[in-house]
Amino acid sequence: MTIDLVLANGTVVTPSGVMEADILVSGEVIADIVPPGTGRGARMIDARGRIVLPGGVDAHVHFLIGFMGQRSVYDFYSGTVAALRGGNTTVIDFALQRRGRSMLDGLKHRRVQADRHVATDYGLHLIATDINPSSLAEVPALVEAGAASFKVYTVYEKEQLKVDDGPLHDLMRALGQAGGMLGLHAENASLIDHAIAKHLAAGEVAPRYHATSRPALAETEAVRRGLLLAEDAGCPLHIFHLNSGPALDAIEAAAARGQKASAETCTHYLALTAEKLDREDGHLYVMSPPLRDKATQDRMWQGVASGGFAAVTSDDASYSAEAKALGAESFDRIANGVPGVEHRLPLLYTLGVEAGRLTLPQLAYAWATGPATLFGLAPQKGSIALGADADLVLLDPETRRTMTPESHYGAIGYNPFDGMSLTGWPTLTVRRGQVAVEDGKFLGEPGQGRFLTRRLGAR
């Protein structure tokens, strides 16, 4: 077997441990892992002083998206280049079923938008917005096509995304039978709409009221309701972007009882708290669920360390500073979401590992192995093992840099993590055996990424 590439003398980290080793790559896969300094191959890369992790699996990104009247800066090309620069080799985005249309059409349309442009490998979650006998009949074909994880929104009726409990329960039954999974954006719409109306009537329009109108209660109620419905329907449940202590308690308790229940939190919840909303540029920090207090943040970190969360995702939604400012005069009109696909690793490393909240193996799990396993990509993705895809990232644990609005690839115009001094920057990203980014420079071509047909059930 020809060895094309050797990453030599690095500190190799997986969820099961840390070791000094050489990683040998042949073609697109890992061919061998040998004692440090003993590997030989056509191209040698010195990884001394570097931490070698599985390439990141960001299971929640929104590239090329329109929402609340705004468009993301990132399309499938620029977004996946930003992802690679951040050490990610796989992302999972979303295909939208428009109301009145078929789910399979939604998947087909999204693949046309993405396939020729992606620089990372990618998968798609299917966003279901119109559940009826004919769309339910498509569920087995969608699972077969590799979009086995669905997303349903319990909020956002104005944006034509919300699904009510009855149709949701029907969809859960269909997914349970077909071997799929239901992911929820879990917030109680009635509690939130009522609170928003009260704030607006009182003239309370500042960004902070976005957070007070979406309390942890609204999230926790929807998570518990989702758990009840999913358990009855026999469907695995995943909670996207969780940021409530009691909601995490509910997921952990359900999983401990044997229910197939999982959750992810996001880097912004681990790095930021609701005080940001009181700044003059507080509108930049509007996302849903909202930023909360320090105690919630501490609980989220605990969930990452314990494995209570199967993943930490970025929920990247790259509305520009200008686009976010368009809604700044009233909190209910600000496009929800922040960018972050490029900075998940230095944030997790600095605030997690360096701060003593995470071990390196725990980082590897939240960063890559956990999401790959949950979403049907393991062991091909998220592992450093013989025969796995040679998706790898080298991380520099020494160099510190301060985040600025220019730290992002592309013109987003702000950075939610502005001013933070971070270490753990990726220096080299290998995607299926090819050096795709070195020192921030993209060395590949659009369309080199592949659509991943995911099969659930490894967990």
Residue 4 Cβ, how far from Zn ion at the closest point, in Å?
A: 37
Cα torsion angle, 198, 200, 203, 206, sign: positive
Cα–Cα distance measured from residue 168 to residue 153, given in angstroms and rounded to the nearest whole number? 9
Q: 156 vs 425, which CB is nearer to Zn ion? A: 156
**How far apart are CB 241 and Zn ion at their closest, in Å?**
6
* Residue nearest Zn ion (C-beta atom): 315
Taking the complex as a whole, the smallest distance from the CB of residue 313 to Zn ion amounts, in Å, to 8
Q: Give the residue among 312, 287, 326 at the shortest CA–CA distance from 156.
A: 287
Which residue reads 């329009």 in tokens?
A: 205
By CB under 5 A, the count of residues binding Zn ion is 1
Are 407 and 400 in contact by the 8 Å Cβ rule? The answer is: no
In the list 315, 316, 342, 396, the residue contacting Zn ion (rule: CB under 5 A) is: 315
State the nearest-atom distance from the C-beta of 186 to Zn ion, in Å: 12
Given the complex with Zn ion, which of 162 and 357 has the nearer CB atom? 162
Q: Judged by CB, which is closer to Zn ion: 113, or 427?
A: 113
Which stretch, 134-142, 190-198, 279-287, 311-319, contacts Zn ion (CB under 5 A)? 311-319
Angle at 93 between CA 363 and CA 216, to 5 degrees: 65
Q: C-beta of 1: minimal distance to Zn ion in Å? A: 41
| Shorter beta-carbon distance to Zn ion: residue 290 or 444 | 290
Please work out, in degrees rounded to the nearest 5, the angle formed at the alpha carbon of residue 270 by the alpha carbons of 264 and 275: 130
Exposure on the CB side of residue 91, measured as CA atoms within 13 A: 32
Look at residues 442, 447, 425, 446 and name the one whose alpha carbon lies nearest to residue 56.
425
| Joined tokens for residue 195 | 């609170």
Give the shortest CB-7-to-Zn ion separation in angstroms: 33
Q: Are 447 and 115 in contact (CB under 8 A)?
A: yes
Stretch that binds Zn ion, among 43-51, 70-78, 267-275, 310-318 (CB under 5 A): 310-318
| Integer Cα distance of 89 and 412 in angstroms | 22
Q: Which of residues 386-445 bind Zn ion (CB under 5 A)?
A: none
CA distance 104 to 441: 36
CA atoms within 13 A on the CB side of 274: 23
Closest CA to 64 of 135, 105, 124: 124
On whether the CB atoms of residues 115 and 108 are closer than 8 A, the answer is no
Q: Which is nearer to Zn ion, 22 or 315 (CB)?
A: 315
Closer residue to Zn ion (CB): 67 or 451: 67
For the bound state, the minimum distance from the C-beta of residue 337 to Zn ion, rounded and expressed in Å, comes to 7
Choice between 186 and 250, CB closer to Zn ion: 186
Shortest reach from residue 421's CB to Zn ion, in Å: 28
Contact code string over 258-297 relative to Zn ion, x by CB under 5 A: ----------------------------------------
Between 62 and 260, name the residue whose CB sits nearer to Zn ion.
Answer: 62
DSSP state of 6: E
* Amino acid identity, position 180: G
Point out which residues bind Zn ion (CB under 5 A).
Answer: 315
